[in-house]
């Protein structure tokens, strides 16, 4: 132990940073599913916004702009989270043997991550529903690989 401490003091050192997604092998698509559901919910809430007749026109515009801004931020954050979670499954969990069993998986993941980006850019209920369905398909394949 003394030798190690001596070497640590003698040798130049610098901070090292590392990131490890989940080395214990615990993977789950539920967070991606929840994120996709949140995207759809935010799109629906944005689309349901209506002016009220109780407020003066300028105050009403400020209220709606504020709500749209907040809902959009949550939508975009969750679309990015969904993409991150799908990519973690893709790069860390799925293996070559999964592609042999599910040859559509590569294209499905690619299209799903593109849908995440589409949902960050726009308020489109159809795209949000597509995202939710695509993530559910990935979750279904994930579940089948666990059997």
Residue-wise burial string across 126-144, b where 16 or more C-beta atoms lie within 10 A, e elsewhere:
ebbebbbebbebbbebbee
Q: What's the pLDDT score for residue 103?
A: 97
* Exposed e or buried b per residue across 22-34, where buried means at least 16 C-beta atoms within 10 angstroms of its C-beta: eeeeebebeebbe
Given a cut of 70, is residue 91 above it in pLDDT?
Answer: yes
Domains of the chain: 27-145 (1.20.120.400)
pLDDT tens digit sequence for 33-85: 999 999 999 999 999 998 776 767 767 788 889 999 999 999 999 999 999 99
Residue 18, pLDDT score: 45
Contact predicate 141/102, CB 8 Å:
yes
Give residue-wise pLDDT tens across range 111-126: 999 999 999 999 999 9
pLDDT at 19: 44
Six-digit token pair at 73?
A: 């931020």
- pTM higher than the cut 0.85: no
């Amino acid at each position: 132990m003394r030798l190690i401490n001596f070497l640590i003091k003698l040798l130049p050192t610098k901070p090292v940073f590392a990131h490890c997604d989940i080395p214990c092998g615990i993977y789950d698509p539920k967070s991606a599913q929840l994120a996709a559901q949140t995207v759809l919910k935010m799109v629906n809430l944005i689309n349901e916004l209506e002016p009220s007749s109780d407020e003066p026109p300028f105050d009403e515009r400020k209220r709606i702009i504020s709500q749209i801004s907040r809902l959009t931020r949550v939508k975009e954050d969750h679309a990015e989270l969904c993409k991150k979670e799908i990519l973690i499954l893709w790069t860390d969990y799925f293996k070559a043997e999964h592609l042999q069993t599910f040859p559509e998986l590569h294209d499905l993941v690619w299209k799903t991550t593109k849908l995440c980006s589409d949902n960050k850019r726009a308020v489109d209920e159809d795209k949000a529903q597509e995202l939710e369905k695509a993530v559910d398909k990935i979750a279904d394949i994930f579940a089948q690989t666990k059997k």
